[in-house]
Amino acid sequence: MKIGYLRVSTEEQRPDRQIDALTPICHELHVEKLSATAKSRPVYERIINSLNSGDIFVIWDLDRAYRSAKDALNELDRLRERGIEIQIASIQVDTSTPHGMLIYTFISGLAEFERRLLSERTKQGLASARKRGQRLGPPCKMTDAQIRAAKQKIMSKEASVAQIAALNGVHPTTVTRSIHRLDERAKLQNRFN
């Protein structure tokens, strides 16, 4: 039997493309909606454990099932010991052939290389954004006007940090961090102007 495994990273993502591609070639399809980096993938684990000798585990693309070249190659070894092969539908690779094994091994390395490049580019982009003073993460809980007013009231001893926090519906730490960030941003702007 050919058993298809489809994965999308979030509930919002749609597996339609994978379903359309795998439906004509698989006897069964199983969809998992979670990140490849999740510690546990229950659908994947259930399928792998239920496969029998002679079955073919079908995936649309290597990154839908494996996190690294090592994962992909180790899993293939375990499956082949049980008489099970892997098929990658998007590039028509079948590990039951010598050519398929070569391409599977090569593609595993390329997929890991691509993931590492993406990770590196993301880190570089975040570092560049931080260097330019861009704030990353969730939106600020206080506006710049609120922060300036809070700073003025604290400096003139009109109100304490705790009072300002209560007035703005935030934690006192948020007030002090917001003032610090505003000051740092002002220093950066002065340096570049």
89-134 pLDDT, tens digit each: 999 999 999 999 999 999 888 888 888 898 899 899 888 888 887 7
Residue 68 and residue 108 in one domain: yes
Q: Among the listed ranges 94-98, 144-148, 181-185, which one has the minimum average pLDDT value? A: 181-185
Establish if 36 belongs to a structural domain: yes
pLDDT at 17 over 80: yes
Establish if 136 belongs to a structural domain: no
Residue 107 and residue 28 in one domain: yes
52-97 pLDDT, tens digit each: 999 999 999 888 888 788 889 999 999 999 999 999 999 999 999 9
CATH of the domain at 148: 1.10.10
Buried b (16+ CB within 10 A) or exposed e, 72-104: beebbeebeeeebbbbbbeeebbbeeeebbebb
User: 7: helix, coil or strand?
Assistant: strand
CATH of the domain at 18: 3.40.50.1390
Residue 120 and residue 158 in one domain: no
| Single pTM value for the model | 0.63
Establish if 135 belongs to a structural domain: no
Residue 117 and residue 73 in one domain: yes
pLDDT at 149 over 80: yes
Residue ranges making up the domain that contains 155: 144-192
Alpha helices in 51-171 (DSSP H): 69-81, 98-131, 144-155, 161-168
Establish if 181 belongs to a structural domain: yes
Single out the catalytic residue among 9, 40, 119, 178: 9
Give the contacts of 106 (CB within 8 A, at least 6 positions apart). none
Residue at a domain's end among 74, 97, 126? 126
| 178 in active site | no
Averaged confidence pLDDT in the chain: 89
Residue 102 and residue 183 in one domain: no
Residue at a domain's end among 91, 126, 161? 126
Residue 73 and residue 113 in one domain: yes
pLDDT of residue 69: 87
pLDDT of residue 30: 94
Which pLDDT band holds residue 192 (cuts at 50, 70, 90)? low
Residue 9 and residue 37 in one domain: yes
Give me the number of domains the chain comprises. Answer: 2
pLDDT of residue 193: 61
Establish if 132 belongs to a structural domain: no
State what percent of residues in the chain have pLDDT above 70: 97
Which pLDDT band holds residue 10 (cuts at 50, 70, 90)? confident
